[in-house]
Amino acid sequence: MDGMEAYGQNAALQFRLMTLNDIPDVMIIEYEAFTMPWTEEAFRNELTNNHFAKYMVMELDGTAIGYAGMWTIMDEAHITNIAVRQAYRGRKLGEKLLDELMKTAAYLGMERMTLEVRVSNLVAQRLYEKKGFESAGLRKGYYSDNQEDAMIMWANLPPAGRSGEEEGSVTDS
């Protein structure tokens, strides 16, 4: 039984902060996912020098199968990357990764989240729209590999923590 057959039964899907030791695994994901992959040095710089950067790894049974990153500036989070190993796509794991990134951003006090996505990447656009992102314009010629435009998308993040309205919650009155 491979990891995906186990997924949903008793496989352990976990999210954790990315470390320098994760870079080799992240590079495999990066090359599978992007026509213009980041370099190892770019990730090393993000993890060691960029105090605005927050990166996480998604693991299935201890194996890195996805990662996501964002910059948190003031009350806004800017998604830099989000990717899942090719063999694990189409199973809503990208959605789980985005959910975790959005929860983390809200927990850190971010109120809004933004990203750029290729205008041709309709699968990603549908996922982002499902999660509350709306188009806010285009960046013409944003992608240097083919001068493709990027759609700018924004979403409001729900406040982190309990609202006090969930069943079983305790509120002061």
Is 148 an active-site residue? no
* Predicted confidence (pLDDT) per residue in 94-129, tens digit: 999 999 999 999 999 999 999 999 999 999 999 999
Q: What are the structural domains, with CATH classification, of the chain? A: 13-156 (3.40.630.30)
Handedness of CA 107, 155, 28, 14 (dihedral sign): positive
- Count H helices and E strands in the chain, helices first: 5, 7
Helix (H, G, I), strand (E, B) or coil at 85: coil
* Residue 127 and residue 95 in contact, taking contact as beta carbons nearer than 8 Å: yes
**Active site residue: 32, 40, 116, 148, which one?**
116
3-state helix, strand, coil in the chain (%, to 5): 30, 30, 40
Is 55 an active-site residue? no
Taking only the tens of pLDDT, the chain with its 173 residues reads: 444 444 454 578 999 999 999 999 999 999 999 988 999 999 999 999 999 999 999 999 999 999 999 999 999 999 999 999 999 999 999 999 999 999 999 999 999 999 999 999 999 999 999 999 999 999 999 988 899 999 999 999 988 764 444 444 444 43
- This prediction has a pTM of 0.84
Q: Report in angstroms the alpha-carbon separations of 118 from 27, 42, 125, 152.
A: 21, 21, 9, 9
Handedness of CA 61, 62, 66, 69 (dihedral sign): positive
Q: Strand (E) positions, the chain?
A: 13-17, 53-60, 63-73, 76-84, 112-118, 134-139, 150-156
